[in-house]
Structures are given as structure tokens and as C-alpha cells.
């Protein structure tokens, strides 16, 4: 394809290839991303995916520094910068310090991935107020207040992307999942409201919903084996969802090609949730 034809058809990928001597730039080159809970499991997979796409990373973790340091080393091996921030995102008094560090280290922010999650697994009638507060603070409230700090940094750079991680318990009843499922439903609702309110600022908000993923977090489920077996039995894809599957979806939503997807919860479950006859 000739250069003039590239312009005519607005083939930006080809144009970039030509202008860079045949080397296509990574789609997130020059971007800065914050991944909460980004040191292990799904969060680590997302961190590595964004790094492979050229983004510099601020990785938030809460308790264990060792896996955070391991993830940092893997990210930096891809030729991008990485900064670790220890904080409980459920405590909104810690947010200002987190974003001050990001501003100091990177000068701004383009992408916020709200991935950190926690929760109490118990029947509804056994839940206590403290269980509600803990789960809702980390899984739902954190997104709103993280966004409030992220938005000014994103506006200064012309816009940004905010993506949260949710689960099928937001719309389906899963045993012992009352508290987490309720918090994820709130998260998805907040995603829609933020998407509308922040669109004029060129800040695009979405969520990614995964099927059953065999991570360390799932070991806390008393019916873990049953959940995994049921997910596999009902998956048209014939396998379980992996952290990398979710990371690929997040990576896509961070690109310009996904700019017209807004306020959407992208389901990545291999078809497990389809209402099959």
C-alpha cells in the first residue's frame, strides 16, 4: 500500500509503521498505568500485559512485598519503568499519598486499573456489619475515590482509561458469595455512571468480568473444587479462564481501538454464562 493510500483510508497502523522505519510503536508507549492489587494473580497478569504494550507501571499492593518485587522485576525486564506503592485501597485516606507518589515519579497518569479485591465468604444471614464495610470499601467504594484522584491527572494529559475488574457474582447467585457479589454489582453500576459523567473529559470507563479463574484467591472458597468443575463443565470453550485471558481484555480496552466502548462490562468467561438450552 502506498503512503498516499494509507492517508486516504486512515490506516494509522500502517502509517506509523512507515514513519518509524518499519517498526510499529507499542500502543501504550509513553502511557502511565496504575494497577491496584497488581502484584499477584490477575493483577500481575494485567501489569505484565500493559508493560508489554509499552506502559510504565505503578503497582499497588497491600501486604506481601515479595511478590510485588518479583512483579516489578518482570515488568522492568520489558524495558519500562515500575514503581511499587504499598497501601490498602479500601482506606480512602491513603489515596492522596498514592497519587502524590505517582505524580512525583511519573508526572501524571493515563490508565487506572481498579483490580484489588477482597471480601467475606459466608451465607447472607451470617454476615456482620464489619463484613459489609470491609468488602464494599475495597471492592466498590475504592473505585469512586481512586477515580476522584485520577481524573485531574488524566485531564492534564488529555484523557484516560479507567477499568475495573468484576465477577459473575454481580448478576448470578453463587454459594457463600452474597457480600462479594453485591459489591461487584455496585462496582458495575458505578462503572456506568462514571462512564457517562467522565466522557466529556475524554476519560473512558469500563469493566471486565471474568469467569471462574483458578488463582490464590479462589483457595479461600470452601467450595473451590465444585466451582471450578462446574465452570469447566459449562464452558463452550472447553477450558477455564486464565488471568492472561482477562489481561488481554483489559489491554484491548486500554487502546484507542476500544474508544467507543463505554460503560460496558466485558464478559470473559469462554461462554460459560450463556443461557444454553
Q: Is 141 a residue of the active site? A: no
d(Cα 132, Cα 136) in Å, to the nearest integer?
A: 6
The pTM assigned to this predicted structure is 0.89
Which of 148, 161, 184, 201 does the annotation list as catalytic? 184
Q: Are residues 41 and 129 in the same domain?
A: yes
Which of 49, 72, 161, 177 does the annotation list as catalytic? 177
Average pLDDT of the residues of the chain: 90
Q: Are residues 15 and 45 in the same domain?
A: no
Q: Is 184 a residue of the active site? A: yes
d(Cα 42, Cα 169) in Å, to the nearest integer?
A: 17
| Owning domain of residue 7 | 1-27
Q: Are residues 123 and 241 in the same domain?
A: yes
Q: Are residues 8 and 92 in the same domain?
A: no
Say which residue the cell 476522584 belongs to: 148
**Of 86, 73, 26, 27, which is closest to residue 47 (Cα–Cα)?**
73
Residues 6+ apart with CB under 8 A from 67: 39, 40, 44, 61
Please give the tally of structural domains in the chain: 2
Q: Are residues 8 and 75 in the same domain?
A: no
Q: Are residues 23 and 11 in the same domain?
A: yes
d(Cα 95, Cα 85) in Å, to the nearest integer?
A: 11
Q: Are residues 18 and 103 in the same domain?
A: no
Q: Are residues 116 and 18 in the same domain?
A: no
Q: What is the pLDDT of residues 134-183, one digit of tens each?
A: 999 999 999 999 999 999 999 999 999 999 999 998 999 988 899 999 99
Q: For residue 224, name the pLDDT band (cuts at 50, 70, 90).
A: confident
Q: Are residues 37 and 142 in the same domain?
A: yes
Mean pLDDT confidence for 41-45: 96
Amino acid at each position: 500500500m502506498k503512503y498516499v493510500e494509507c492517508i486516504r483510508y486512515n490506516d494509522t497502523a500502517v502509517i506509523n509503521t512507515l514513519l518509524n522505519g518499519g517498526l510499529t510503536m507499542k500502543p501504550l508507549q509513553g502511557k502511565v498505568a496504575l494497577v491496584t492489587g497488581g502484584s499477584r494473580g490477575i493483577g500481575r497478569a494485567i501489569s505484565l500485559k500493559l508493560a508489554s504494550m509499552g506502559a510504565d507501571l505503578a503497582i499497588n499492593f497491600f501486604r506481601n512485598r515479595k511478590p510485588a518485587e518479583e512483579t516489578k522485576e518482570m515488568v522492568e525486564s520489558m524495558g519500562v519503568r515500575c514503581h511499587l506503592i504499598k497501601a490498602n485501597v479500601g482506606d480512602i485516606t491513603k489515596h492522596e499519598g498514592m497519587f502524590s507518589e505517582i505524580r512525583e515519579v511519573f508526572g501524571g497518569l493515563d490508565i487506572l486499573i481498579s483490580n484489588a479485591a477482597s471480601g467475606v465468604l459466608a451465607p447472607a444471614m451470617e454476615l456482620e456489619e464489619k463484613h459489609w464495610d470491609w468488602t464494599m470499601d475495597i471492592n466498590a467504594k475504592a473505585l469512586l475515590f481512586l477515580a476522584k484522584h485520577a481524573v485531574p491527572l488524566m485531564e492534564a494529559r488529555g484523557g484516560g482509561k479507567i477499568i475495573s475488574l468484576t465477577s459473575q457474582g454481580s448478576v448470578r447467585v453463587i454459594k457463600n458469595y452474597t457480600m462479594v457479589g453485591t459489591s461487584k454489582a455496585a462496582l458495575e453500576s458505578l462503572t456506568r455512571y462514571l462512564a457517562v459523567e467522565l466522557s466529556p473529559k475524554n476519560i473512558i470507563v469500563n469493566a471486565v468480568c471474568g469467569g471462574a479463574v483458578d488463582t490464590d484467591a479462589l483457595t479461600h472458597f470452601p467450595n473451590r473444587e465444585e466451582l471450578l468443575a462446574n465452570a469447566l463443565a459449562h464452558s463452550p470453550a472447553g477450558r477455564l479462564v486464565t488471568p492472561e485471558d482477562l489481561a488481554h481484555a483489559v489491554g484491548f480496552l486500554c487502546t484507542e481501538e476500544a474508544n467507543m466502548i463505554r460503560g460496558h462490562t466485558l464478559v470473559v468467561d469462554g461462554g460459560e454464562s450463556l443461557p444454553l438450552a
